[in-house]
Amino acid sequence: MSVGKKSILVILAVLIIDQISKIWIKTHFTLGESVEITSWFHITFIENNGMAFGMEFIGKLFLTLFRIVAVSAIGYFIYRFIKQNKYPDGFIICFSLIFAGAAGNIIDSVFYGVIFGDAPLLYGKVVDMLYFPIIKNAAGETLFFSPVFNIADSAITVSVACILIFYHKCLGEKKEKKNA
């Protein structure tokens, strides 16, 4: 299978899993509701109005439009990487995961407010639900890993880590095509 087809399959798989999980959480949980699956994994429904980890420092409309431009640029780079046939398949798949994750969160920002009736177009919130309170203190407060995130965030984080660990040389120089 060509890397282009693999890229499309990865993007579609992440988008479908991400959106199904978000819609299911949004329609079956109340905001703030949490279900303990194990002591170190909870499904917790929150909505993120800003950037990663709920940070906010620019307006919501600007952030949504910036995300759309950024995802368009990533899509263009994926297309170029495939056409140039000089980059390892794994590198292109990592960028496809970033594209899919960013697109998944854009869908929330652009449409969820309108679909669920709580914000106008482009002002929706991102649905987060995965919570891993791995280390807690004696009072039960989470000491290590308190962010709540979603499948899209995971795709972005894992792929960036893989690029930095395995494909960092591809970022600054042209390589001969290797299947990795």
Task: Give exposure, 19-43, as e/b (b: 16+ Cβ within 10 Å).
Answer: bebbeebbeebeeeeeeeeeeeebb
pLDDT of residue 51: 66
| Of residues 32 and 139, more confidently modeled | 32
Q: Which percentage of the chain shows pLDDT scores above 90?
A: 76
With a cut of 60, say whether residue 26 has pLDDT above it. Answer: yes
Residue 152 gets which letter from DSSP? H
pLDDT digits (tens, 9 = 90+) for 8-21: 999 999 999 999 99
Average predicted confidence (pLDDT) for the chain: 91
Other CB atoms within a 10 A radius of the CB of residue 124 amount to 24
pLDDT of residue 63: 87
| Of residues 174 and 165, more confidently modeled | 165
Q: Which residues are catalytic?
A: 128, 153
pLDDT digits (tens, 9 = 90+) for 101-126: 999 999 999 999 999 999 999 999 99
Interval 32-49 mean pLDDT: 95
With a cut of 70, say whether residue 177 has pLDDT above it. Answer: no
pLDDT of residue 105: 94
With a cut of 90, say whether residue 148 has pLDDT above it. Answer: yes
Question: Containing H/E element for 133?
Answer: none
Q: Reduce the DSSP state of residue 86 to 3 states and report it.
A: coil
